[in-house]
Structure 1
C-alpha cells in the first residue's frame, strides 16, 4: 500500500485528500524501459522533458508490449508509434495576452488563474502526481508544482489577497509530505528521488504572518521533512556521509544536496548522457551530481563545478551549501517554536540545541571574515569554495547572521555582485544560467529582506528599485514576465540566457516576488509601467 493511501485510511489532516486517487510512482524510465531510451535517444521530441510529461493513451504495460512486439519490424516508425500512444501535455500559459493598458500588478493578478492547475487536470498513468487542491505552476515548460519556486510564488498570492489559493498551496505540500515523507523537486514521479531547498517552514511562517492558519497544525509535516533531510545521520563517523548528511572532522553535522538515483535525469536524458560522455569520472558519479545540482534549484552554476566552463566537472555532493544549511537552521528553530506552542517542552529543548549547534557549524565552515561573506565549503577537499555568490544573503534572510556579519555581507554583495539591474547570481561569467550576469527573483527577495532584517533599509531599497526597474522594463516592451533577467547593463528589461532550455515566460516566482515588492514600494515607477508602452 502506498503511504498516501495509508494516510487516507488513517484520516490525515490535509482537507480534501479523500478525493485523491493513489499516485503511480513509477517513473517513465522505469515504466517504459527500452522504449524510454529509444524515444529520448532518438530525439522524438526536441525537449527531453516533453516525453516524460506525456500521458499514455492506453495502459502503459500494453504500450510497452506493443513496442517490443513491433519495433524490429521493417518500416517501424518510432515517432508515429509515440504519436499514436501518447498525448503531449499542452503548454497553456503562453496563451495569456496582457491588455495594452494593464499595469504590472494587474497583469500579475490576472496570471494566477492562467498558471493554476486543478485536481481534475491529473490524468491517469502519467508522471504527474495527483494533489487534492488547486496549485500554481511556474509557466512555460514547467507545468507542475515546484517546491522552492512555490514559496516565492506564494508571496505574490499573499500580496494580491489570493488567500484561498495560498491555503491550497500549503495544504498540497502538507499532503505531499504525508504521502511521500518529503517534498520532491516537483509533483512528478521522476522528481521523487530528490527534494529542493527546504522552504516549507517559510511557507508556514507566511501563512502565520497573514493571520491565515494556526501554524501548529503543520508541526508533524515539519518534523517529517526534518527527518528526511537528516536520515542516516545516526552513527556517522568523522569524514563519512550518508544521503544528505555529512559528518565533519570535528563531529559536526552539516547537509548537502543529494538525489537517490545515479542515472540520467529523465527530463534531461540526452543532455546528461552527453555531459557524462564528455567527462573523465564514472558516469554514475556525474549523473548523481547533476541530479543533486537540480535538487539545489541552481541548475546549473559554476558554484557546483570544478571547472567553470565544464559541466562534466560538477561535484555538487562534495559541497556543503550555505543556503541549504541556513534553511535547515530555520526549520530547526521553527520546530522548536511550534513544539513549545504545542506544549512539548522536551522537543523544544532538543531542537533549540540542534539549531544552536548548526549555527556554530555555519560560523565555523561558511563564514569567511577576509571576504566578508558566507561561502560554500568543499568537504571532500576540506577547503572553502573561492567565489562569493548570492547565497551569502540567505543567513541574513533567516536571521542567523550576527549584526557584524550582516553588514559585512551587504557591503560585499554591493561591491562584488550588484549590477545595474539587480544582484548577480555569482561572480563567474559562464554558459550556465545560475551565473553572472543573470538575476533571479528569489535571490533578489532574500537579499532585500535579509538586509531589511538588519536595518539596512537604504541598501534594500536600492536593490528593490533596480530589480523592479528591470522587470518593468521588459514588461513595458514585451507585455510579460520571464524566468530570469540579464542584469549586467542598464536596467532596460532583458531576458536572461544560458542553461539547458530557452527562456520561459510566465513566471511564477518572478510574479510573486515582483507583486510583493510592488506592495512594499508604492512609490516605484514600475507601478506606472503599462504593457507594450515603453517610456522614453
Structure 2
C-alpha cells in the first residue's frame, strides 16, 4: 500500500520522538515509545510499531525521491516486510549500487578520497605502458586542479613504492570501448573506509553479484583483475599506490569459472582465452618463482615485498613495536619512526618484523596470532589449497572449453599437465600440512620444520577445493567443528589455540570469538562438497539469524564482522567494525557480508527461511553449541 507524505515533517517528528540518542538511527538502544503515527497529505493516519518497523520507515523516508513540494510516496508493505526478505532486497536493489565505483568524471572524486590517509593532494597513477589510459584520465581530470595525474615507472620496485608513500594515490583500472567511446569499467569496494578494489574481497562480492544477476558488475570485477595482473604484475592487495608490492589470496580462476559457467552463452570464448592466459601468467610469475612465494619445500607462502612500515595503518599503530627498537629513552617514537622510514637507521630485526606484517596483510587475515611474527616462514593451508584450485580450474577450462589443448608462450598445456601439477601439490600438502594424529590440516613452519598446531577456519579450505579424500574430510569435520562452531557460526580460530597468548595481549580480529563471511562461505561449500548437508544448513541458519537479528535491532546494520559467540557486531577489537557507522540507511552494508547473506538464503530450505523471517532462535531448532 502506497501513501503520500511530506518527508521533512514526518522525518523530523520521527527522529524527535524515537531517535533518543540522536545518532540518526532507530535501534533497540533508543528509548522512545516505539510507536509512531504517520499523517499523510490526505490527513490519513497510520501507526507504525516496534524498532524494526520504525527503522524501516526511517530508511524509506531517506530513500524515496520527493517532488517539488517535498512530497514523497512510500510503501507500508516495504516498512512491514519480513526481515530476511527486506535485507536481501536492500542488498540487491541498493547496497551493490552504493558500493560501486567508476574512475570516470562522475566518480573519480569519490574513489580518490582515502579515509586511511590524511592527505590534501589527490593522485591518480597510470601504468607506464598504458598511453590510452593516460589520455582517458587526462580528459576525466581536466579542470580539476587538485587531482595530480602521474605515470608509474616501467619497473616498479619496493624502493620506488617506499619513495611515494608520502604521495599516495589510486591506481588506474580497466577501460572498455562502448559505442566507440572509452569508458571506465566499474568495480565494487568492500565498504566504509575501504574505498578501493580489494583482492580476495572481490571474489566473495562476485558470488553475491552473480546470485543477484548483476552480470556486468561481476564481469567488470574480473576484467579489472585481468588489467591489474597485466599492468601491475599481480592482483593487488588493493588499487592504491602503497599496495603495489602486495598481492592477496588467489581467487581469480574461481571468479572466471563461476562467471563463465553462468554466462557462457553470452560471453565470447576469446574472453575466456584471455583470462586463462592471464591466470597462467599470474600463477607462474607471482606464485611459482623460487625463493619468494615458492618455498623450499615445494609449497607456497605469502611473501609480501616492500620496505619498512606499511603506509595504510592508522597513526600510532606500530608505536609499541618501534618503542623496542629506538636508540635510547631520549629519542621519541616519532623521531625514530621518521629515521627508520627514511632508512637512516638499520634494524634487521625490525625489517623482519615488517616482512611478516606485510605478509599477514597479503594473506588477507590481518591480523591473527596464527600468523603474527612468522607469516613469511609458513606454507599455509589456505594458500596452497587456493593454488591447487588454480591448477584444477586451469585443467577444467582447457579440457572443457579448448578441446584439451592450450598454447601459452609457445607451450602446449593440456589438462594432464595441470592435473599432474595438482597431484604433486596434494602429495606435498599431505606430507607437510596434513596431521595424521589429529586428522586435520595445519600450516608448516619452514624454519622450525614442523606443523603449527593452531586450529583455524582455514583448515576447511581443502574441503572447499575438493582436495581431500572423503575420509580426510570426515576427520576434519569431526576435529574442527567442535572447536570452531559457535552459536552464530564458525569462529576464525579455536579458543584453545589462544591459550598461550598473554591475557593482557590485544585481541586479533581473525581469531576467536570473531567470525567472518569468507570463512562461513568456504565452510558451507566445503561441507556440501562432501555430503554434510544438515550441518551446512545449520551453520547457514546460525549465521543468517545473527545478521538478521542485528539488522532488525540496529537499523539494518550489516557490518564487516561479528562476535559469533555473543552474536553482536559491537566488538572490542583492532580496527573496530567497518560498516557499522552510518546515518539513516546502511551505506552499502559490507561487500562480503552482503554476499554471504545472499548465498546463505540460496542454500536454506524453505522451512528454515520461514523460521529465519520469524527470527526463531537457532538453539530452539538445533542442539546448543558448547562455545
- TM bucket (normalised to shorter chain) is 0.7 to 0.9
1-structure distance, mates of 2:370, 2:528: 26
1:384-403 equivalences in 2 (<5 Å)? 384-403=451-470
Contact 1:484-1:495 within 8 A present in 2 as well = no
Instruction: Pick the aligned partner of 1:405 from 458, 472, 479.
Output: 472
- Give CA deviations for 1:418-452 in whole Å, capped at 9, x if unaligned: 00010010014561101000000000010010010
SS at match of 2:263: coil
For 2:374, the equivalent position in structure 1 comes to: 315
2-structure distance, mates of 1:434, 1:353: 34
1:55-94 equivalences in 2 (<5 Å)? none
For 2:164, the equivalent position in structure 1 comes to: none
2-structure distance, mates of 1:291, 1:97: 40
Contact 2:434-2:441 within 8 A present in 1 as well = yes
For 1:5, the equivalent position in structure 2 comes to: none
Counterpart check, 1:277 vs 2:322: yes
Q: Deviation of residue 527 (structure 1)? A: 5.7
Counterpart check, 1:445 vs 2:518: no
The number of residues matched between the two structures is: 414
Counterpart check, 1:295 vs 2:362: yes
1-structure distance, mates of 2:540, 2:558: 16
SS at match of 1:499: coil
2-structure distance, mates of 1:138, 1:432: 20
Contact 1:394-1:450 within 8 A present in 2 as well = yes
Counterpart check, 1:266 vs 2:311: yes
Counterpart check, 1:106 vs 2:55: no
2-structure distance, mates of 1:211, 1:421: 34
Contact 1:264-1:272 within 8 A present in 2 as well = no
For 1:129, the equivalent position in structure 2 comes to: 171
Measured at CA, do residues 192 and 97 of structure 1 come closer, stay the same or move farther in structure 2, by a change above 3 Å?
A: farther
SS at match of 2:308: coil
**Structure 2 unaligned regions, length at least 5:** 1-60, 65-77, 113-121, 125-168, 176-184, 326-347, 499-505, 581-588, 616-627
- Give CA deviations for 1:232-291 in whole Å, capped at 9, x if unaligned: 32xxxxxxxx2211112xxxx111111111311100164454243255771111111111
Counterpart check, 1:344 vs 2:406: yes
1:325-344 equivalences in 2 (<5 Å)? 325-340=384-399, 341-342=401-402, 343-344=405-406
For 1:55, the equivalent position in structure 2 comes to: none
Larger mean CA deviation between 415-424 and 518-527 belongs to: 518-527
Q: Deviation of residue 481 (structure 1)? A: 0.5
Counterpart check, 1:184 vs 2:259: no
2-structure distance, mates of 1:412, 1:385: 16
Counterpart check, 1:203 vs 2:225: no
Contact 1:439-1:496 within 8 A present in 2 as well = no
Measured at CA, do residues 279 and 436 of structure 1 come closer, stay the same or move farther in structure 2, by a change above 3 Å?
A: farther
2-structure distance, mates of 1:432, 1:96: 36
Measured at CA, do residues 208 and 527 of structure 1 come closer, stay the same or move farther in structure 2, by a change above 3 Å?
A: farther
TM-score normalized with structure 2 length: 0.63
1-structure distance, mates of 2:384, 2:283: 12
Contact 1:182-1:224 within 8 A present in 2 as well = no
- Give CA deviations for 1:454-486 in whole Å, capped at 9, x if unaligned: 111111111111111111111111112000001
Counterpart check, 1:222 vs 2:279: yes
For 2:481, the equivalent position in structure 1 comes to: 414
1-structure distance, mates of 2:250, 2:370: 19
Measured at CA, do residues 529 and 160 of structure 1 come closer, stay the same or move farther in structure 2, by a change above 3 Å?
A: farther
Aligned CA-pair RMSD: 2.3
Contact 1:468-1:526 within 8 A present in 2 as well = no
- Give CA deviations for 1:308-330 in whole Å, capped at 9, x if unaligned: xxxxxx12101111000000011
Q: Deviation of residue 355 (structure 1)? A: 1.1
For 2:564, the equivalent position in structure 1 comes to: 487
Instruction: Pick the aligned partner of 2:539 from 463, 480, 503.
Output: 463
2-structure distance, mates of 1:254, 1:519: 35
Contact 1:474-1:494 within 8 A present in 2 as well = yes
Measured at CA, do residues 269 and 193 of structure 1 come closer, stay the same or move farther in structure 2, by a change above 3 Å?
A: farther
SS at match of 2:459: helix
TM-score normalized with structure 1 length: 0.73
For 1:58, the equivalent position in structure 2 comes to: none
Contact 2:191-2:590 within 8 A present in 1 as well = yes
For 1:256, the equivalent position in structure 2 comes to: 301
SS at match of 1:210: helix
2-structure distance, mates of 1:504, 1:350: 44
2-structure distance, mates of 1:279, 1:427: 30
Q: Deviation of residue 335 (structure 1)? A: 2.0
Instruction: Pick the aligned partner of 2:450 from 362, 380, 383.
Output: 383
Contact 1:451-1:457 within 8 A present in 2 as well = yes
Measured at CA, do residues 96 and 218 of structure 1 come closer, stay the same or move farther in structure 2, by a change above 3 Å?
A: farther
2-structure distance, mates of 1:414, 1:462: 12
Instruction: Pick the aligned partner of 1:146 from 198, 201, 204.
Output: 198
Measured at CA, do residues 412 and 495 of structure 1 come closer, stay the same or move farther in structure 2, by a change above 3 Å?
A: farther
Contact 2:545-2:612 within 8 A present in 1 as well = no
Measured at CA, do residues 152 and 367 of structure 1 come closer, stay the same or move farther in structure 2, by a change above 3 Å?
A: same
2-structure distance, mates of 1:388, 1:163: 37
Measured at CA, do residues 443 and 324 of structure 1 come closer, stay the same or move farther in structure 2, by a change above 3 Å?
A: same
- Give CA deviations for 1:97-122 in whole Å, capped at 9, x if unaligned: 79754511012112011111012133
SS at match of 1:303: coil
1:354-393 equivalences in 2 (<5 Å)? 354-393=421-460
